[in-house]
Structure 1
Amino acid sequence: MDRASPRSGIRRRLRLATALGALLVLLGSYGVSTTAQADPAQAGTARADTDAGVNVIRVAEFPADCSYSHRLPDDPIIFPGLPGASHMHSFFGSTVTNAHTTLPDLLISPTTCNPQVDTSSYWVPTLYRNNVAVEPVISTFYYLGEGVRSDVVARTEPIPQGLRIVAGNARATGPNDSIARWSCLHAGQVPPSKDFVNCPAGTMLESYLDFPQCWNGRDLDSPDHKSHMAYPVNQACPASHPVPVPKLRQVLRYPVSGDPSQFRLASGPGYTMHGDFFNAWPVAEMERRVRDCIRPVVKCGHDGQPI
């Protein structure tokens, strides 16, 4: 018995050690298990971020589709308060624009635009075919972050409410004085030109015009209606116009084709194409689109949401 007692003690200690070891193994297994459960959650978040990235189109853009509204021989930027002083213009967006229009008028105006929050006014010289006015059936105004370096896009500022911009040259005497671009929808074999082009039957004549995107940061207009804005130089805004804003690209598609000698603008030949823009976007809506679409380089729809 005396010799059996130490052996019993040893057995008890062995059983205790075994039990403690099993407990430690169990606890260790539990710790590994919780860690393993945490990892999939983190991985799931990463996958969700990746999936979200895949669904984003990396183009800095938001659009406004503004159908034709009305025609008048007025221009509230070049000839404010002087009805009938201008050549004929075709107006898009605000339905009330005339020679007397001011920003307060636009802010409460009905609009032809999608989105309807855009009550801005856009206008161009009227196109004529054999002296009969022709209006675009598609008129889209794209707001873009392009033509400048990526770091400039990243610090793009919203277009200030009330800003007036004129692009193109109504007094151009030839293609060299022009930034107009004419082409044919669905007829890429026809090279673009600064003057009218001969579009095949079944296609449409289209006009592209890019507005300047560098602002002097002070003036909503200028005496010549151009010097407060500038185009980029070497993919950056010049020191005289240091504030980048979204580039406005005007795209108009006319339901005509064929012999370009039949066409004229109210301002003259095709190379006199020009566009006017009077900004009346709500401040918050413009700011949101610049923040969510332009700076992060995301293609957005009419609602200003990624598509």
Structure 2
Amino acid sequence: EFVAFCAFHHRLMDDPIVFPGQPGASHSHEFMGNTTADAHATLETLLSGDTSCDPVGDRSSYWVPTLFTADDQPVAIEHATFYYLVHVDDPTTVQPYPLGLKVIAGNAKATQPDEAAHIKWSCLGAPDSSTGEIVTCPADSKLELLINFPDCWNGEDLDSADHKSHMAYSGAGACPATHPVVVPALQFKLRYATSGAPGMRLASGPGYTAHGDFFNAWEESALANRLQCLHKLEKCGPAGYPQTSELTNHLYLPMITR
């Protein structure tokens, strides 16, 4: 695996994938990574923009719906870790994302918890929730959200009409024939500045509507170098070199406030 630590940067009612060119058309999102990301984001603007990520070679944009308390106050994301993993049997088959690839995981329109297969709410250090519901943690713990992204690409399209059909999840250690290109399995791990409380909701609705968006703008050389970590099944830190699991799990960027 390899990781990027990308601090929260800004909050907007924009969605560069679902509502491109339409500022204010979306529910509220928390943006991490690229500091210029908004409704008008393109690959070119991202590549020329700054980043809140370590490493700085990751100029991608990552976003999730804003979490609100019962009295409609936004809850800050304290730590945001983006893991790039391998979920196929042959790690040497993993290829880099194409520049400009747009990927969504989770279902903003889910109507029941069992539609939340790829998202998990949990408490720091505790087993993941399997219900898709926001959990209330012990007072000395923190609420976490895990989002797992598809790791198979159709090899042709950077996006699709439903923003999902060009991607698929691997199964039984391989990608389906319809989506033969293996890419890194991205995982968002977000820690909130709360232990959770009754009545919390996302801008998109209940906890099971949690979803994440990824707009790839990794510098090609930086991403290519880190693929070696996946091919060799090494655990690499943000610098792209093998590090101890303890370092990887506890090194966080301080939150940037705006």
Task: Please say whether Structure 1 and Structure 2 have the same fold, judged by a TM-score greater than 0.5.
Answer: yes
- Which of 203, 207, 211 is the matching residue for 1:266? 203
How has the CA–CA distance of structure 1 residues 183 and 283 changed in structure 2, closer, same or farther, with 3 Å as cutoff?
A: same
- Which of 100, 116, 120 is the matching residue for 1:181? 120
Q: Deviations over 1:55-101 (max 9, x none)?
A: xxxxxx10000010001110010000011110000000011111111
- Which of 119, 125, 144 is the matching residue for 2:85? 144
Q: Does 1:84 align with 2:20?
A: no
Q: CA deviation at 1:305?
A: 1.1
Unaligned regions of 5+ residues in structure 2, if any?
A: 244-258
Partner of 1:213: 151
Q: CA deviation at 1:192?
A: 4.7
Q: Is the 8 A contact 1:126 1:133 kept in 2?
A: yes
Q: Deviations over 1:176-222 (max 9, x none)?
A: 1112200000344x855311112000100000010000000111111
Partner of 2:215: 278
Unaligned regions of 5+ residues in structure 1, if any?
A: 1-60
Identity in percent: 53
* Separation in 2, partners of 1:275, 1:258: 20
Partner of 2:34: 94
Aligned pairs (5 A) from 1:111-130: 111-130=51-70
Q: Deviations over 1:2-38 (max 9, x none)?
A: xxxxxxxxxxxxxxxxxxxxxxxxxxxxxxxxxxxxx
- Which of 55, 66, 71 is the matching residue for 2:11? 71
How has the CA–CA distance of structure 1 residues 272 and 251 changed in structure 2, closer, same or farther, with 3 Å as cutoff?
A: same
What SS does the aligned partner of 1:287 have? helix
* Separation in 2, partners of 1:176, 1:207: 16
Q: CA deviation at 1:262?
A: 2.5
* Separation in 1, partners of 2:2, 2:131: 26
Which amino acid in structure 2 is aligned with residue 304 of structure 1? G
- Which of 72, 75, 83 is the matching residue for 1:134? 75
Which amino acid in structure 1 is aligned with residue 174 of structure 2? A
Let me know the Cα RMSD of the aligned residues: 1.2
Q: Does 1:104 align with 2:44?
A: yes
* Separation in 1, partners of 2:149, 2:171: 14
Given the two structures, how large is their TM-score scaled by the length of structure 2? 0.91
Given the two structures, how large is their TM-score scaled by the length of structure 1? 0.76
Q: Does 1:293 align with 2:234?
A: no
* Separation in 2, partners of 1:109, 1:71: 17
Q: Is the 8 A contact 1:183 1:193 kept in 2?
A: no
What SS does the aligned partner of 2:2 have? strand
Q: Deviations over 1:108-163 (max 9, x none)?
A: 111110111111000000000121001210100001112x21x2x22110111111
- Which of 161, 164, 167 is the matching residue for 1:226? 164
What SS does the aligned partner of 1:298 have? coil
Partner of 1:170: 108
* Separation in 2, partners of 1:65, 1:96: 17
How has the CA–CA distance of structure 1 residues 182 and 66 changed in structure 2, closer, same or farther, with 3 Å as cutoff?
A: same
Select the structure of larger CA radius of gyration.
Answer: 1
Q: Is the 8 A contact 2:120 2:129 kept in 1?
A: no
Which amino acid in structure 1 is aligned with residue 123 of structure 2? C
Partner of 2:137: 199
Higher helix share: 1
Partner of 2:2: 62
Partner of 2:252: none
